[in-house]
Amino acid sequence: MPVMWSPDSEFAKERRRWETSYTEFGPPGRTFEQREWPLMVYRASRPSSGGKTPILEHYIVADEQEERNMRSRGFVRGPDHAIAMLEASERELATAAAERAYQDRLMSDRAKVEATAVDETTIQHLGSIPETPIHKKGWPKGKPRKQVSHG
């Protein structure tokens, strides 16, 4: 059976002191303050065994500095933003892989061998292969050519 409290009772008066919105005990006793901290930030990733459902990590930050630190590690406010960020990064990787596959078709055989050698040195996807500088034979690197004047 519910208990009925009179708005004039000591309990109702104390309860009103702590409330920030209107309740059955009457008007609020204190004003509402928007407090940003502590705040929970999220990061989404895919399971290492594969699968469509993302894994959400969360962390509670105490101040703005800690939030900046966690943002640099890939955490964002809200789980929906974390999933959107994961999908955007996967889309960027897919686009880079497609562009790389297209460029590989246009490479010479020698360049393909060089690209394969670079790919085998890392486990991560490389969107582009670092260029190897080509040195022209006959002139040492850094030596200026002799200027010939015609006249």
Query: pLDDT tens, 21-65?
Result: 777 767 777 776 778 889 999 999 999 888 889 999 999 999 999
Average pLDDT of the chain is: 84
Distance CA 108, CA 101 (A): 14
- Identify whether residues 11 and 52 lie together within a single domain: no
The residues pairing with 59 across neighbouring beta strands, listed in sequence order, are: 41
Same domain, 20 and 49: no
For residue 15, the surrounding DSSP H or E stretch is: helix 10-18
Is there a single domain that holds both residue 96 and residue 53?
yes
Highest mean pLDDT among 27-41, 48-62, 109-123, 135-149 belongs to 48-62
Same domain, 43 and 112: yes
Q: Structure pTM?
A: 0.58
What is the identity of the amino acid at 90? E
Domain containing 20 equals 7-34
Dihedral (C-alpha) 75, 81, 86, 91: value to the nearest 10 degrees?
Answer: -140
Residue 14 in domain: yes
Greater pLDDT, 79 or 130: 79
What residues are paired with 25 via a beta bridge?
none
Number of independent structural domains in the chain: 2
Q: Is residue 26 domain-shared with residue 78, that is, in the same domain?
A: no
